[in-house]
Amino acid sequence: GAGVSQSPRYKVAKRGQDVALRCDPISGHVSLFWYQQALGQGPEFLTYFQNEAQLDKSGLPSDRFFAERPEGSVSTLKIQRTQQEDSAVYLCASAIALGPSSYEQYFGPGTRLTVT
């Protein structure tokens, strides 16, 4: 079946612009995670949702970052007033719950954000 899709795949923004990154999870997956991957590093957790509820946003680096999932399916990660240090690949993962706090996560192709 269809996997996780993300759009756009590439985004170039001028410093100070706002951007919105979209994630379409695997149909029926209740849980959705966002990660940020800097060049040469492993992904780092940003936030996650169960249905429309944002259960953990402890990884969001600043209040310029905002995520939502209003209908419990598609999610959007918004970055306001982008800065150069926001340049990274943003990965979305759709997840199957295996038990309390235990998930099997399937990733989309990511959005590569470059802030100039």
Partner 1 sequence: SQQGEEDPQALSIQEGENATMNCSYKTSINNLQWYRQNSGRGLVHLILIRSNEREKHSGRLRVTLDTSKKSSSLLITASRAADTASYLCASNGTASKLTFGTGTRLQVTL
Interaction of residue 108 with partner 1, rule CB under 8 A: yes
- What is the nearest approach in angstroms of partner 1 to the Cβ of residue 80? 23
Residue 41 interacts with partner 1 (CB under 8 A): yes or no: yes
Residues 72-101 that bind partner 1 (CB under 8 A): 91, 93, 98-101
Of 15-23, 31-39, 64-72, 73-81, the segment contacting partner 1 by CB under 8 A is 31-39
Give the sign of the dihedral formed by CA 39, CA 44, CA 50, CA 53.
negative
- 27 contributes a contact to partner 1 by CB under 8 A: no
Residues near partner 1, by CB under 8 A? 31, 33, 35, 40-45, 48, 55-56, 59, 91, 93, 98-110, 112
